[in-house]
Structure formats: structure tokens, C-alpha cells
Amino acid sequence: MQQIINPQGALVCVALNDKSQLAALSDRFHQAPYLKPATQPVLYFKPRNTRSNNGSVMPYPSHLAEDQALYVGASLVAVIAEPCCRVSEEQALSYCAGVTLMHDFSLREESYYRPDIKGKCLDHSAAVAERITPLDNLGALDDLVVVTQLNEQTEYRFPSVQMQRSISELISSISHIMTLQSGDLIALGFAGERIQLCPEDQVISYIETGEASTVVELKNSVSKKVASSALTGQGAEQ
């Protein structure tokens, strides 16, 4: 099953899919520049330079502004099994090979108004676990919890019932925008509060199912702080 994920394929992430985050930001989203809440899923791409995997080391950004930091969010990821074009919510799950996990390393989400290229497109910032769990092995999809630990302390638990839009709804609506291909990925939603990171931190996430078993583990670390000169040329391609 593992080989199905296409590291050159699309990785579409769903932002603002945490009900409590949406409630907390509701006033702000009625003001400029947003004016009204989004009527459609809020989506962003993680382009191919961002792709990395289980066990990878996220380079700590070398030239952060003083008030900036590196953050991480964890998300369930739907793995697309076959070409998926304009499918209904009822059909959607049959196009899904299963789920895995991703860590989305980024700068702080300060604004949702413009595409966040600077914050979201850092090299190696989309770590995707290779292991896929078929939906049949997960039990009820409403009973999943993504658990994330920072340096072995549990930092957050994000239950799938906290998601504003379900996996079926998201596969369906995204497939009406773009034809998805086998191996494309949809990161379904992140807890609104992302975890601030320091150099050399360890981040582990796993999926807890309704039967309290755990599936898919994703483990990443953050590099030491490096001088910006070390990130030029070939060094950055490793």
C-alpha cells in the first residue's frame, strides 16, 4: 500500500477546519479584509519542495524575524486511490485508499487573506508518514483522534468530530475543483492552535481509533539553529 503516495503529486491542505478555531475567529472573519466567513473549504498547496517523510529533520529557518517562530500542526491525510473527478459525498470514500498523517511545519498563521507562500512553502516542511491505514481498519471515522506530542509531552488531541467539514465532504468538494490522481493527498484539518517549536524539538503524532488502538506514527525533529550561509547552494538540497 505504501507505494501509492506520489511525492510529486498534489498535497492539498485544508485550513480553518477546526470548529473551535472558527468560533474563536468568528468576529475577526466578519471584519476586513475577510468581511464574511468562508463559504467553501479554505485550501492551500504544499508544493513539492516541501515534501519529506517519517523520521525527517525539519531545518529550523535561518533568518526568522524576531517575533516569528516555527510551528507545527498535525493532520489526518486522505490518500487518493484512483482518478477522482466530481464525485459525490456518498461516493467519496471509495476513492480513498486510506489515511495517513502529516506534519505541516510553517511560520505562525497570522493572516488568512493572501496565500502564505513564505509561511507554508519552506523546504522539507510537509512530512508525510509512508504508512497508510485503510479506512476499514479505522472503525468509525468520527471517533479518530490525532494526538501530537512535543518532546514526549502530549500537546494536543484533535478529535475528528472537531472538524467543520468531514473527509467525505472535503474529497467531494475538492474533486469538483480539480481532478485528483492516484497518490494525491488531502490534509483534512489541523487543530487551530499550532505548536511552537524550538531547535532540536521532537514531534510525534499518531492516530487513536475508537477502539483505543493507535495507528500510523509520524516522528520528526527540528534541526539545530544553522547560520543562513549553511542553507545556500547544494547544502540546502540534502
Partner 1 sequence: MKTARIVVDNEVLEVSVDDAGTLRTAAGTVIDESVVTWLCPVENPGTIFALGLNYADHASELAFEPPKEPLVFIKGNNTLTGHMQPAYRPDDIDFMHYECELVAVIGKTARNVSRDDATDYIAGYTLCNDFAIRDYLENYYRPNLRVKSRDSLCPIGPWLVSTDEIGDVSNLQITTRVNGELTQQGTTADMIFNVPFLVEYLSGIMTLQPGDMIATGTPKGLKDMQPGDQVVCSIEGVGSLKTPILSEQQFYGERY
Q: State the residues that interact with partner 1 by CB under 8 A.
A: 10, 12, 15-16, 33-36, 38-40, 42-45, 47-50, 85-86, 112-118, 121-123, 177-181, 231-233, 236-237
Q: Which is nearer to partner 1, 122 or 204 (CB)?
A: 122
Residue among 15 and 128 whose Cβ is closer to partner 1:
15
Instruction: Using the minimum distance from each CB to partner 1, give the nearer residue, 59 or 98.
Output: 59
Cβ proximity to partner 1: between 66 and 113 the closer is: 113
Q: How far is the CB of 26 from partner 1 (least distance, A)?
A: 14
Q: Residue 96 Cβ, how far from partner 1 at the closest point, in Å?
A: 18
Least distance from C-beta 3 to partner 1, angstroms? 19
User: Shortest approach of partner 1 to residue 28 CB, angstroms?
Assistant: 12
- Which phi and psi (to 5°) does residue 155 adopt? -95, -40
Question: What order do you get walking across the sheet with 145-150 strand by strand?
Answer: 57-60, 214-225, 202-208, 145-150, 153-159
